[in-house]
Structure 1
Amino acid sequence: MLKLLISVALATVARCQNQSNPNTFTNPILEAGGADPWVIRHDGWYYLAQSTNDAITLSRSKILTNWNTAESRILFAPPPGFNYSTDIWAPELHSINDAWYIIFTADPRNDSPPPEVEMWCEYNCPAVHHRMYVLEGHGTSPWTTNFTYKSQLDTYDQFAIDGTYFQYKTGLYHIYSCWFRKYDGWPANLCITRLENPWTVASPFSERQIISVPTLPWEKTPYGRASNDRLSSNEAPQQLTNTVTGQEFIVFSAARSDNRNYCLALLELVGTDPMNPADWRKHQYPVFYQNPAEEVYGVGHASFVKSSDGSEDWIVYHGMRDPTNGWSARTIRTQRFTWNEDGTPNFPKPGYGPYPIPSGQ
């Protein structure tokens, strides 16, 4: 406990010192509500979509590296009694075909299925009723757009969380965290389906494909678990495009989000058909993971954005200083990343800084 208090105090001192240096910043960039950050840049503003568990909020800031005093507003607060009224998770804001869409996860009963449902699960499965939903809005700016409920995304009446859009030359796709069967509970895999539009799935269940399964030691909780698949997870997929080479990647989170071993992994589209599992290659080691030397743990659920002048790539993610406090310990951080010679992303070690501010800020 003493070590933790000292480290927090040192971080606070460093943050205060760097307030006098406008050319550097320190992590975290947001202390409160620090989970599943989704950041985009539009017309000179950065926008951060978040969940308060019963509503979706949007914040905006001219700078990427401090959100503690950013403007915020509620975009969507569903009334009680709907299938999407509780446990709203991981909202994402996308611009597709001149409209704004928010894709999010929710359930109808506070993540607590009745015993007559949960008895079918091989393991405990509180998220059995989580599904994917879509909001739609029309306007030049997401800040002034009114969003309305559009539809549930079909996941064949099965568990679905952390869905995202994958935009590719062959069409629009939905990639999300799924189970093999309705009552599995574990493992959590990555599924892909083809979309007719941002709110309508075109693939029948027979064409749903699983493109990643948590089989490697670092994808399991505890690390390397051999006895069963409980807590083994692939989730929070995000599209990342190398705009120079044209290579397409899915960066996803592995292990468990309240655990020190939560990390980022990489799928690379090495073929031309996102619906063909053989056209995806999983890199065999995590690409962004804990840094105990700097007391950084549980790093994951990232999004990616450019610096304000467009010259740099930045990762926005959540992490923990004290992993024993689980989900409540998460805060939001950001760091610059670059690209390797083979076109894959080159992520830094996660840390607190101080770091140079984004170019053009």
Structure 2
Amino acid sequence: MRIFLPPLLLSATLITSLNPARAQQSAVRTFTNPLQENGPDPWVARHGGYYYYTNTMGQNITLWKSKGLSTVKNAPATVVWTPPTTGPNSTQIWAPELHFLDGKWYLYYTATDQANPGDNSRYVFVLENASPDPTMGTWVDKGKVNTKYTGLDGSVFEQGGKRYFLYSAYVGPQSVLAIAPMQNPWTLQPGKEVTIAAPTYAWEKGGGRQILEGPEFLSGKKGQLFIVYSASACWDDNYSLGMLTAAKGTDPLRPDSWTKAPQPVFHPSAENGVWGTGHNCFITSPDGREDWIVYHAKSAPDGKCAGRSSRMQRFAWNPDGTPNFGAPVPVQQPQQVPSGE
């Protein structure tokens, strides 16, 4: 029996058989940044086959739930917590981070008291939720994390069977990076907090401030520990990411374990039209084969904190086990979706 194909179908069949590479290329799925147009201080957690995304909203904590990392922009949004009208955590709700610890969800966030707002009353607070899905259930206020200083941008990581808390502490005219072991998900071990880095380079002192903030933990490919942090004020157009490195087997609670990179490891690109690159997190693709950095940036060098959108791009690793973040890609440049989506 002879089969007759319509001309268009015949053409496509010939293209596929004669040029399989072109056919494969046409099947590649892409996405473009931003993830959220209004997306300062983004954070992504992956659990149970879903990605949970959040960023600073100011007046509440909102979560986006998505099967794919690149489809966060189309995911439904759920307001999971609204601050009380009065009290120490009643306003300026910043930099939420979602972590699944000991079988429960915890949200770490920065807040201050609207009766006396500002850095002198700004602390990291934590909420707890026993629901398997953090967009559901009840969030219980566990209060203020007992840090030594006022500060912001709390994060949690585990290493060698121990859990640590990182944050940006207000010390004098500047903010420094501090670390402490945790007694439980809402309490630090008393008297154990240490400062591990302070602003020392010119690129850490932009915008008229001396600031290290947004510290995030990253495990190296050769046993190192990395802390990637944001340097300078958020309104500084050259806001960049710096990095601390601790060698394999060293104690993260010892300040001398950490070495600071002399130059930013991820910084603005005038050529690509990207400014104010900072406040990042790290996440893997659905199949676990790729590493991605999620961060905020601006499209204009306007000297403002406003206009920060959340973005993401894949990053690689250097032969010595250190991360290679490359240059920030232009907004609307197509990127291949994470593997496994």
TM-score class, shorter = 0.7 to 0.9
Task: Please tell me whether residue 135 in structure 1 is matched to residue 127 in structure 2.
Answer: yes
CA distance in 2, matches of 1:333, 1:283: 24
Indicate how the Cα distance of structure 1 residues 86 and 21 shifts in structure 2: closer, same or farther if over 3 A, else same. farther
Match of 2:34 in 1: 28
Secondary structure at the counterpart of residue 233 of structure 1: strand
1:258 corresponds, among 227, 232, 235, to 235
Task: Please tell me whether residue 358 in structure 1 is matched to residue 335 in structure 2.
Answer: no
Match of 1:59 in 2: 64
Secondary structure at the counterpart of residue 305 of structure 2: helix
Give per-residue Cα distances to partners, 1:242-291, cap 9 Å, x unaligned: 3x433221111111112211111111122521111001111111110000
Paired residues of 1:305 and 1:313 also in contact (CA < 8 A): yes
Paired residues of 1:336 and 1:348 also in contact (CA < 8 A): no
Match of 1:192 in 2: 179
Equivalent residue runs for 1:170-319 within 5 Å? 171-180=162-171, 184=172, 186-204=173-191, 207-222=192-207, 230-242=208-220, 244-270=221-247, 271-319=249-297
Aligned AA for 1:218?
W
TM-score, structure 2 normalization: 0.87
CA distance in 2, matches of 1:81, 1:139: 27
Match of 2:13 in 1: none
Paired residues of 2:35 and 2:311 also in contact (CA < 8 A): yes
CA distance in 1, matches of 2:223, 2:141: 34
Q: Which moved more, 1:334-343 or 1:54-63?
A: 54-63
Which consecutive segments of 4 or more residues in structure 1 shift more than 6 A?
none
- Structure 2: stretches of 5+ with no match in the other structure: 1-25
Task: Please tell me whether residue 168 in structure 1 is matched to residue 159 in structure 2.
Answer: yes
Residue-pair matches, total:
313
Paired residues of 2:222 and 2:320 also in contact (CA < 8 A): no
CA distance in 1, matches of 2:73, 2:131: 27
Task: Please tell me whether residue 37 in structure 1 is matched to residue 42 in structure 2.
Answer: yes
Paired residues of 1:30 and 1:66 also in contact (CA < 8 A): no
Paired residues of 1:35 and 1:330 also in contact (CA < 8 A): yes
CA distance in 2, matches of 1:190, 1:103: 17
Aligned AA for 1:267?
L
How many percent of aligned residue pairs carry the same amino acid?
39
Equivalent residue runs for 1:74-85 within 5 Å? 74-85=79-90
Shift of 1:200: 1.0
- Structure 1: stretches of 5+ with no match in the other structure: 1-19, 114-125, 223-229
Match of 1:147 in 2: 139
TM-score, structure 1 normalization: 0.82
